[in-house]
Amino acid sequence: MKIIKLTTYRVPPRWMLLKIETDEGVVGWGEPVIEGRARTVETAVQEMEPYLIGQDPSRINDLWQTMYRAGFYRGGAILMSAIAGIDQALWDIKGKVLDKPVYELLGGLVRDRMKMYSWVGGDRPSDIIEQIRTLQQGGFNTFKMNGTEELGMLDTSAKVDDAVRRVAEIREAFGSTIEFGLDFHGRVAAPMAKTLLRELEPYRPLFVEEPVLAEQAEYYPRLAEMTSIPLAAGERMYSRFEFKNVFAAGGLSIVQPDLSHAGGITECLKIASMAEAYDITLAPHCPLGPVALASCLQVDFVSYNAVLQEQSMGIHYNQGGELLDYVINKEDFKIVDGYCKPLPKPGLGVEVDEERVIAASQHAPDWRNPVWRHADGSVAEW
C-alpha cells in the first residue's frame, strides 16, 4: 500500500481536517491545526508531503521520525501540529486495514469508560451556575472554566476577589456534588499566581491549569510547594523533549498534551507513559474537533494514568460549528453519566462526513483569538 494524496480542509468553527488517501482506496483522517494558525499548519502539512507520497502508510514510526528529524529545525507548535494530524491519519489507515480500533493495536483497553468534562463560562467566566445546572442534567459532573479575566502582572485585590467569589458561589451552589478545574489560561503571571492559588485553596478546585505560561514552567515546582491544588499544564508543549524537563523538575500533577499539537498518537503515547513513571495523571487537552477527540480517546483507553478528557461540545469557541457536525457515527460519541465508551469502529473510530466537510470548507473562517488590552493599553494575555 502507498500514500498517494493529502488533502486539507479548513472548516468552521476553527478546525482543519486532513484526508490521506492510499493506492488501495483506504482513507485516513487527521486533525492538524493550531487554533488561529490553521493556514500556517496547512502549509506545514504540504511541506511534509515529500516525506509521505509513495511511502507505505503502515510504517508510522519511520514516517514520524522522518517528518520530525529530516528537517534540521524541528519541534514547536506548527510543525508538531502538522505531524500530529498526519500521524492520526496514519493510525486511522492502519486500524482500517486491520479492521481494529487503534486501542486494540496498542494493547487493548485499560478501562471500560473514560471520564469527560465540559467547559462552562466562556472567555469571561459568567453564568457559571446556570450552565453547570444545565450540563449536570446531561450527566456531566466535572467542569472547567477560566479562572480570571485578563489580569495584570501585578493586579488588584478586587480582581482576586472576583476570581474567589466565582468559585465560592460554585461551592455554595453545588457543594462537593461537582468538581471543577480552573484554567488560568496563561493570563496569570508568576507574581499573581501565588496569591490566587492561596486564596482559592479553601474551595478545592480539582486543578488549576496553566497556572503560569509554559514559558515560565520553572515556577511549577515552586507553586506546587505552596499549594495542595493539583497543577495542570501541557497544551502549549509539543513533544516529549519538552515534557521531560517539566516532569523531571516536578510540580505538575496533571499533564495535558494536545493530540493535535504534540505529535499525534505516536508522541502522546510516549508522553503519557513518561508521565506515569512520575506518577503524573493524563488529561489530554481537546477544545477541537471530532478527529482530535477520537485520537485522544484512543490514547485514554490504553493509558493507565488517564483520568479526564476534555471535549468541545458547547465550548465557547465553537461558533459556527459544533463537535459532531462532520461525524456520521454521532452515537458512538455519546456521553452517559459523564463518561464516554471506547469508540467501536476500526481506526480512530470516527466516520467523517466528507460531503459535509467539503461543503463547509467553502466558507471556512480565518479564526483568530481576540487581542485583549489592559487598562494601560498594553497587550493582555487572552
Ligand X SMILES: O=C(O)C(=O)C[C@@H](O)[C@H](O)CO
Residues engaged in binding Mg ion (CB under 5 A) = 183, 209
**Catalytic site residue 285?**
yes
The residue annotated as part of the active site, out of 185, 261, 316, 374, is 185
| Residue type present at position 134 | T
CB-based contacts of 65: which residues, under 8 Å, 6+ apart? Answer: none
Residue 59 C-beta: closest distance to ligand X, Å: 32
Residues engaged in binding ligand X (CB under 6 A) = 35, 183, 185, 235, 285, 287, 310, 317, 369
CB-based contacts of 170: which residues, under 8 Å, 6+ apart? Answer: 128, 129, 132, 178, 180, 203
Cβ closer to Mg ion: 183 or 242?
A: 183
The residue number with the shortest CB distance to Mg ion is: 183
| Residue type present at position 160 | V
* Residue 10 binds which of Mg ion, ligand X, none (CB < 5-8 A, kind-dependent): none
Where does residue 183 rank: exposed (0-12), middle (13-18), buried (19+ CB within 10 A)?
Answer: buried
* Residue 35 binds which of ligand X, Mg ion, none (CB < 5-8 A, kind-dependent): ligand X
Distance CA 94, CA 87 (A): 11
Residue 144 C-beta: closest distance to ligand X, Å: 7
* Residue 287 binds which of Mg ion, ligand X, none (CB < 5-8 A, kind-dependent): ligand X
Q: Which residue has the cell 468552521?
A: 12
Cβ closer to ligand X: 289 or 349?
A: 289
Residue 90 C-beta: closest distance to ligand X, Å: 24
**Which phi and psi angles does 118 have, rounded to 5°?**
-125, 145
* Residue 317 binds which of ligand X, Mg ion, none (CB < 5-8 A, kind-dependent): ligand X
Residue 35 C-beta: closest distance to ligand X, Å: 3
Q: Tell whether residue 24 is among the known ligand binding residues.
A: no
Give the residue from 162, 312, 326 showing the smallest Cα distance to 235.
Answer: 312
> Is the sign of the CA dihedral 29, 302, 101, 344 positive or negative?
negative
Which grid cell is 312? 468541545
The residue annotated as part of the active site, out of 261, 285, 316, 374, is 285
Q: Tell whether residue 183 is among the known ligand binding residues.
A: yes
Cβ closer to ligand X: 35 or 300?
A: 35
Give the residue from 239, 258, 243, 264 showing the smallest Cα distance to 83.
Answer: 264
Q: Tell whether residue 235 is among the known ligand binding residues.
A: yes
**Residues acting as catalytic residues:** 185, 285
Known binding-site positions for Mg(2+): 183, 209, 235
